[in-house]
A and B are shown apart, each in its own frame.
Chain A
Amino acid sequence: MKKNDIILISVVAILCIGSIFYLFVNKKEGTKISITVNGVLYKETELSKNQTIEIKTNDHVNILSIEDGYAKMIEADCPDQICVNQKKISKKGESIVCMPHKIVVTVDDGEQAELDGVAN
């Protein structure tokens, strides 16, 4: 290992840990869940309301459950099942992604959604 390798690894590690720390400190509880399919808004709903949502895309179905203020993907008919294995989300900016079906579930707070509404 050369000196430059160690410099590279340290710099990137510090930057990563710094941004993880920043993300962690700035975490706020979210209030809204927005589901987009292929970049288009599919459904927006309150995080406080317990429910299960079927997300239908072409011939595929993903099932999202919202319970006790947390959203979790409980079922998906995709081969990799990465989204189902993802942790439940509740904080603003957290997301669950299903790459094969191009589904993104994100937590927002009310203000953010309003701002986006104005911008749109």
Chain B
Amino acid sequence: MTSKKITTFGALVALAFIFSYIEMLIPFHFVVPGMKLGLANIVVVCALYLLGAKEAFVISMVRIVLVGFTFGNMNTMIYSFAGGILSFLVMAIAKRVNLFSIIGVSVLGALLHNVGQIGVAIFMLETKTLINYLPFLLLMALVTGVLIGIIGAELTKRLQKIVKHLQ
């Protein structure tokens, strides 16, 4: 690992961490309980397109651990991991099969993040009625997914040159 790569990783993890923090300051719960913007996913999506799948995965996981220890607990970390891993896997596959643009990839990530979290909630709280939230959450995920995808597309376009210099 070159020092350039290490600093890139550090900056991106820090950025994802700050996005998670900002998200905590914006209460979106009144729309749908448990709803989130998914700002941190901007970093993961960009990393997936600019650096590669392995790198994006590392950034996503490090962020979850850091945010979990700073603002949450073991319990919230399980939810984050379930959403984060599932959403990452789908985004990586979706990018590889090349059927979708960065917006479609981001939307799939947002959708699967919710599926993962509701899945864990149903399992942990043993309440199937939680599935009633899924259509509302997924509808919101479409909106936030498109939004994050558009931001991600613009950022990757602009950052491409800089990243090439780094490698």
Interface positions of A (Cβ within 8 A of B): 1-2, 4-5, 8-9, 12-13, 15-17, 19-20, 23, 36, 38-39, 80, 82-83, 85-86, 93-95, 97, 99-100, 102, 104, 106
Q: Are B125 and A102 in contact (CB under 8 A)?
A: yes
Q: Are B127 and A106 in contact (CB under 8 A)?
A: yes
Q: State in angstroms the CA–CA spacing of A104 and B130 once bound together.
A: 9
Provide the residues of chain B in CB contact with A93, threshold 8 Å: 129, 132
Q: Are B142 and A82 in contact (CB under 8 A)?
A: no
Interface positions of B (Cβ within 8 A of A): 27, 29-30, 33-34, 75-76, 79, 99-101, 103-104, 107-108, 111, 121, 124-127, 129-130, 132, 134-136, 138-139, 142, 146
A-B contact pairs, 21 of them (CB 8 A): A1-B103, A2-B101, A8-B100, A9-B142, A9-B146, A13-B139, A13-B142, A16-B142, A19-B135, A36-B127, A38-B125, A39-B124, A39-B126, A82-B33, A85-B27, A93-B129, A95-B132, A100-B75, A102-B125, A104-B125, A104-B129
B66 to chain A, nearest CB (A): 18
Interface majority SS (helix, strand, loop, mixed), chain B: helix
Name the residue of chain B whose CB is nearest to the CB of A7.
B104
Given A1-B101, A5-B103, A13-B142, answer yes or no on A39-B125 (Cβ-Cβ < 8 Å).
Answer: yes
Provide the residues of chain A in CB contact with B30, threshold 8 Å: 85
Q: Are A12 and B111 in contact (CB under 8 A)?
A: yes
Q: State in angstroms the CA–CA spacing of A86 and B30 once bound together.
A: 7
Cross-interface CB contact of B107 among A8, A15, A19, cutoff 8 Å = A8
Q: State in angstroms the CA–CA spacing of A3 and B108 once bound together.
A: 15
Q: State in angstroms the CA–CA spacing of A100 and B107 once bound together.
A: 27
16 other A-B residue contacts (CB within 8 Å) besides A5-B101, A97-B130: A1-B101, A1-B103, A1-B104, A4-B101, A16-B139, A16-B142, A23-B132, A36-B127, A39-B124, A39-B125, A39-B126, A85-B27, A85-B29, A86-B29, A97-B33, A99-B121
Cross-interface CB contact of B135 among A20, A85, A99, A106, cutoff 8 Å = A20
Name the residue of chain A whose CB is nearest to the CB of B71.
A79
Q: Are A8 and B104 in contact (CB under 8 A)?
A: yes
Provide the residues of chain B in CB contact with A20, threshold 8 Å: 135-136, 139
Q: State in angstroms the CA–CA spacing of A71 and B130 once bound together.
A: 17
